[in-house]
């Protein structure tokens, strides 16, 4: 009986070790994320305080009396020490309170919830475009290294990095909308389609399918295809270059030579074995590209009159609406942190060695 107990005890201890490691890893990740968010919020808070804009004057106006100015100054907590102000700022952010927008007179959180779906839809379609074309182009360039296919892919990527996005957007509007009339114009929908379907997700392509209105779906698609393709072109340039680099590294490995010696077809070697290993680091590349499109679509939204987060932040910045600027900046930072966490999670799902 004692032998049975003795042999069972090590098993219980051994089984607890992986659990402890997972808990330790989870605590480490949570602490890192928390520290990153606090650092992001602190930097955002300091930037809001050192900006040459008086938040009190933005609220009460330049003609307000000194008494009104002082009352607003105290109500905003600006008379308190800086760290106390930061603590109040953290409490407000924790409950999603970014303050009231001076421009719209509505809570900034409501404004962001209203405009963010437009940016999310635009960046998502652009990322899909970049992945669908960028990955095959990178694979083709690596397989035909040094040949004309490789040179074409590298030129396309270099052109995407070099050309200003506002220039490509204007040229695209002139050619495909003004001359050829192949796509819809600026905005998300034609005027007579606006506010026709109920808002469910804020994504017009999705909401129109939920409602079963294909006319609005295709009208929205005609409006989004050009700006999303332009954004996706920049994503394509980045993804194709990274895919090419990853594939060249994998194609020089011994397991690729072994697979060819065993008689596997070239298609299986490239698209199953080499690309299968490439997808592991490529997940991070795609996630970062997606985050860049979410926060870097300002010029595209302005050119195409796209009512998204980029346009909202630009208008807020030009109007010295610091509550809106800080709120939008925090949201963008949270997106980057969230997508990094998601890429790490998917990395472990795809690669069992990382678990």
pTM higher than the cut 0.75: yes
Lowest mean pLDDT among 13-17, 99-103, 168-172, 277-281: 13-17
**For the residues 32-52, what does the mean pLDDT come to?**
79
In a domain, 100, yes or no: no
The CA distance from 45 to 89, in Å, is: 8
* Residues 134, 277 within the same domain: yes
Inter-helix orientation angle 322-350/2-50, to 10°: 150
pLDDT digits (tens, 9 = 90+) for 140-165: 999 998 899 999 999 988 887 788 88
For residue 137, what are its two tokens? 């182009």
In a domain, 101, yes or no: no
For residue 122, what are its two tokens? 């635009």
In a domain, 311, yes or no: yes
* Residues 249, 334 within the same domain: yes
Query: Nearest 5 degrees, angle CA 268-CA 272-CA 274?
Result: 100
Which residues constitute the domain of residue 52? 2-94
- Dihedrals φ, ψ of 43, to 5°? -60, -45
Residues β-bridged to residue 100: 107
pLDDT digits (tens, 9 = 90+) for 264-296: 888 888 888 888 888 888 888 888 888 888 876
Q: Kindly report the number of other CB atoms within 10 A of residue 199's CB atom.
A: 11
Number of structural domains the chain divides into: 2
In a domain, 310, yes or no: yes
* Residues 201, 286 within the same domain: yes
Q: Among 332, 270, 321, which Cα is nearest to 297's?
A: 332
């Amino acid at each position: 009986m004692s032998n049975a107990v003795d042999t069972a005890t090590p098993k219980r201890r051994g089984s607890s070790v992986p659990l402890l490691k997972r808990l330790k890893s989870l605590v480490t990740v949570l602490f890192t994320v928390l520290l990153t968010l606090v650092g992001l919020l602190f930097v955002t808070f300091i930037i809001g305080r050192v900006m040459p804009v008086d938040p009190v004057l933005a609220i009460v106006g330049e003609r307000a009396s000194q008494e009104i100015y002082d009352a607003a100054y105290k109500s905003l907590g600006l008379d308190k020490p800086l760290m106390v102000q930061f603590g109040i700022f953290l409490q407000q952010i924790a409950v999603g309170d970014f303050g009231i927008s001076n421009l719209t007179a509505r809570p900034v959180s409501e404004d962001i919830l209203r405009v963010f779906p437009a940016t999310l839809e635009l960046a998502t379609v652009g990322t899909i475009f970049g992945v669908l074309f960028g990955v095959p182009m990178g694979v083709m360039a690596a397989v035909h290294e040094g040949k004309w296919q490789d040179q074409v892919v590298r030129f396309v990527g270099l052109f995407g990095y070099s050309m200003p996005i506002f220039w490509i957007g204007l040229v695209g509007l002139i050619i495909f909308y003004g001359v050829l009339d192949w796509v819809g114009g600026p905005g998300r929908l034609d005027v007579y389609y606006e506010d026709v379907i109920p808002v469910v997700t804020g994504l017009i392509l999705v909401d129109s399918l939920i409602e079963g209105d294909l006319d609005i779906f295709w009208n929205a698609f005609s409006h989004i295809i050009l700006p999303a393709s332009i954004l996706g072109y920049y994503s394509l340039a980045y993804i194709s270059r990274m895919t090419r680099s990853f594939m060249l590294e994998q194609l020089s490995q011994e397991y690729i030579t072994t697979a060819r010696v065993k008689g596997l077809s070239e298609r299986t070697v490239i698209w199953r074995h080499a690309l299968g290993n490439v997808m592991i680091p490529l997940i991070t590349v795609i996630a970062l590209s997606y985050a860049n499109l979410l926060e870097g679509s300002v010029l595209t939204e302005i050119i195409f009159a796209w009512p998204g987060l980029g346009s909202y932040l630009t208008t807020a910045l030009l109007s010295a609406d610091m509550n809106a600027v800080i709120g939008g900046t925090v949201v963008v930072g949270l997106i980057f942190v969230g997508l990094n966490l998601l890429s790490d999670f998917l990395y472990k799902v795809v690669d069992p060695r990382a678990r």
